[in-house]
Amino acid sequence: MKRTAVSLCLLTGLLSGCGGAGLDNAHQTQNQTKPIHVSDRNEVFNRHNENEQFGYVRYQKEQFDGDQQKTPVMNRGETAHMISSLTVQLPHIQDAATLVTDREALVVYKTDSKNRELTADQVKKTAASVIPRYYHVYISDNPNHMQSVENYSNLGSGSRDIREIMSGTIQEMKTSPQGSPVSENENANGETRQDMKIDRNDKNAR
């Protein structure tokens, strides 16, 4: 009887171990298809106010291999909201309007600043801190451009001749201070020589 009881205990332990391993493997498989959030691992993080809690998400390369998961798409409306709300909180800014396209951010603002270059640099850097690195930023402190930017809000990347239409407004906006160069190889708008060459070729092709 003692041997039978011991055998049953050992068998139960092995089954429990296998079951635990199965759960661990299932958990690992689940983690491979989902981002890892700190709040998923520790419920104590959920007690914090959502606006106070740090954001943390971890992805691994294999999660994006194949067609298992699509890369998140930036919400242009939310991005424009963030840029405008941050810009209007800068010193000497009373009004700010932002248009975000598939590769540009156009920001028009009203200011009473006596140092237009400094204010332009602050506005440009604020917008650049929100959008992806490959975006170009164009700004203007001429309130007349605000209506032009608003007129584009009902259009989209697929709108006919949109690039040609917007290029005129962008060139007008660039007559206002654009701030300091982004880097040694990029102008104040984040454009490289190659970018400007491509834009010229696109215009000639039209």
* 112 and 176 part of one domain: yes
On whether both 46 and 92 belong to a single domain, the answer is no
CB atoms within 10 A of CB 190: 23
pTM check: above 0.85 = no
Q: How many domains does the chain have?
A: 2
68 and 133 together in one domain: no
Domain coverage including residue 45? 34-72
Q: Between the CA atoms of 167, 128, 82 and 49, what dihedral angle is there, to the nearest 10 degrees?
A: 160
Tell me which H or E stretch contains 40: helix 38-41
CB 190 within 8 A of CB 182: yes
Quick: pLDDT tens for 103-141: 999 999 999 999 999 999 999 999 999 999 999 999 999
| In-domain check, residue 4 | no
- Tens-digit pLDDT profile for residues 154-202: 888 888 888 888 999 999 999 999 999 999 999 999 999 887 766 655 5
Give the burial class of 163: count Cβ atoms within 10 A of its Cβ; 0-12 exposed, 13-18 middle, 19 or more buried. middle
Domain end among 72, 96, 127:
72
Q: Residue 108: its pLDDT value, please?
A: 97
Q: What is the pLDDT of residues 4-55, one digit of tens each?
A: 554 545 445 544 444 444 444 444 444 444 555 444 544 444 455 667 888 8
